[in-house]
Amino acid sequence: MGIFDWFKNEEIHNYKCTHCKKDFNNEEHAKKHLELCIYRNLEKEIVILPSEWGTDKKIIFTNTFLEYEDKIVNYSDIRAISYMATSRSINFIPIGTAYEFIISYKIGNISLSLDEKTWLRFIDISKNVIEPILIKRIITKIFDENMEINIGEIKFNKRGYSKNKFFGGKEEVLWSDTTPVPRYISGEVRVYNKDGGIFSRIPMIEDNSVILPELIETCHYYNQIINNDDN
């Protein structure tokens, strides 16, 4: 059943909430109640944004969607995620760090400047409920739909990942190659070749660069499963 499912008892012509079992004699009342009832009982986390946003600013994460201001964004509609911490200075004197978190979805984006604690909490939530959906979608496109996906300068396809060389040609890493797991270093994601050298450096603020460690590791594993099945 979907999130707004309801059912009708044909014998007594009543409508019943499938969660709290309350009866209604009107279909619209039953559906409106059920929407609220499901929402109240969803597993959710409310994150209050930093004080400069005002006391009424908050973002609500559930297991299937997030709610911010007048926006409700299903995780399945999110197309890209990015986050980055940038040191700020004036005349080479450090004055603090800016923490950015950006969610891009079908019809827009949510761009937030956060404090460190909130930023880290957002990353933790993203790693658990948003990024696995993005990774699964990209894996499906690469291996099942035979599509090529770009993240920064890197092209991903069924063979592996590649980039264009500065003086022509391309450099390629196959999924059958053994490579170090990409790492976050100094505001960028470092992707490696089979010799352990740096293949690419992609800024963490680039769309979906932050999912590269998990994505590349999963692609290696998925390719291994496919080859084992073929054998």
How many domains, in total, are found in the chain?
Answer: 3
Contact 116, 97 (CB under 8 A): yes
What is residue 7's predicted lDDT score, i.e. its pLDDT? 39
Q: Are 94 and 36 within one domain?
A: no
Q: Are 23 and 62 within one domain?
A: no
Domain end residue (candidates: 63, 93, 128)? 128
Host domain of residue 94 = 44-128
Residue 128 burial by Cβ neighbours in a 10 Å radius (0-12, 13-18, 19+) = exposed
Please give the average pLDDT of every successive group of 10 residues along the chain, which has 231 residues: 39 53 66 57 66 66 85 92 86 80 94 91 92 94 96 97 90 96 95 96 96 95 81 58
Single-letter amino acid, residue 164: N
In a domain, 2, yes or no: no
Q: Are 144 and 225 within one domain?
A: yes
Q: Are 145 and 213 within one domain?
A: yes
What is residue 54's predicted lDDT score, i.e. its pLDDT? 53
Q: Are 200 and 212 within one domain?
A: yes
Claim: this prediction has a pTM higher than 0.85: no
In a domain, 153, yes or no: yes
In a domain, 82, yes or no: yes
Kindly report the number of other CB atoms within 10 A of residue 101's CB atom.
20
Integer CA distances (angstroms), 121 to 47, 115, 204, in order = 9, 10, 17
CATH code assigned at 171: 2.30.29
Q: What is the pLDDT of residues 126-162, one digit of tens each?
A: 998 899 999 999 999 999 999 999 999 999 999 999 9
Domain end residue (candidates: 104, 128, 152)? 128
In a domain, 133, yes or no: no
Integer CA distances (angstroms), 140 to 73, 106, 118, 144, in order = 22, 19, 32, 5
Q: Are 161 and 220 within one domain?
A: yes
